[in-house]
Every structure is written in C-alpha cells, then in structure tokens.
Structure 1
Amino acid sequence: MIAGVRHTEFWTRMEAALGSTYARTWADQQVLSALGGRTVTESLDSGEDVREVWRAVWAELGLPPRDR
C-alpha cells in the first residue's frame, strides 16, 4: 500500500472493490473487529489512520494481494 494514502484514494479503492453505490453503505454499516468493533466511517471520523482502515477492509473483503 502506498504510504500516506489519502481519503480520496481510500474511497477510490472502496468503490473499485464494492462499486460506487455500495461502498459508502458498506462503510456505514459493516462493523469490523479489526477496527475495534467500529464501522469504517466511524473509524475514519475518529481519526484512525486511513492505511490501517484500508488494511482492515482489505482483510475483511479478502481482496487480492495486489490491492493491499
């Protein structure tokens, strides 16, 4: 993963993985244990490192190594 990933890149990756319509819904609703039982949106809103949130999403979705 690229160091210093920004929110725009994060959302681009989310949309590539889940589709532009579903990405935000999934981020708002899916609770991830790797994020301390929070959703993606809650984690980002609380200031969690975007790279760590992406790693949690990547693992949860079982995305291929090239997407890490």
Structure 2
Amino acid sequence: MRLTEFEQLLQDVFGSPQGRWIAHSHVVSTLGETPDNLIENGYDLAQVWRELCDDFSVPEADRLGIDRPAK
C-alpha cells in the first residue's frame, strides 16, 4: 500500500476532516502509537490500516474504500 492509498482510505472510510484527525490523534490499540507516528517510523501501511479498522470496528466490506473507475 502506498501513502496516497492510505490517505484516500482514511477519507473514504472516516471522512476528510475526521480521517486526518484520527490519523493524528488516535493511538492504535495493538501498536501503541498514532497512525501518523507509526507511518513516520516505517510501519507497514497495510498493517496500520488493518489495525486502525479493527479499533473502529469497520466492516470488512468497507475497508477497501469507495470503488472508483480505472484511470
């Protein structure tokens, strides 16, 4: 997963302002840091995304974000 994909998923699943707030302030329960700190420290983006979704009980079907047409 690329950082742009992670950020798009944040927006798709949590909304634009709330997604950024969550990334900045929510401590991921299993990893002990905020998503922003974890990413800065080199954690796998896909793992951070999975754990964040688990913390907020995001349904599996919603974790992939919004379907967009291919470019």
The TM-score, its normalising length taken from structure 2, stands at 0.80
Structure label with greater radius of gyration: 2
Q: Which residue of 2 aligns with 1:24?
A: 20
Is the 8 Å Cα contact of residues 29 and 55 (structure 2) preserved in structure 1? Answer: no
Distance in 1 of aligned mates of 2:34 and 2:12: 19
More strand by share: 1
Post-superposition offset of 1:53: 0.3
Instruction: Give TM-score, length-normalised by structure 1.
Output: 0.84
Verify: 1:8 aligned to 2:4, yes or no.
Answer: yes
Higher helix share: 1
Gaps of 5+ in 2: 65-71
Q: How many residues align?
A: 63
Identical amino acids, percent of aligned pairs:
30
Please tell me the root mean square deviation across aligned C-alpha atoms, in Å. Answer: 1.1
Structure 1 outlier segments of 4+, above 2 Å: none
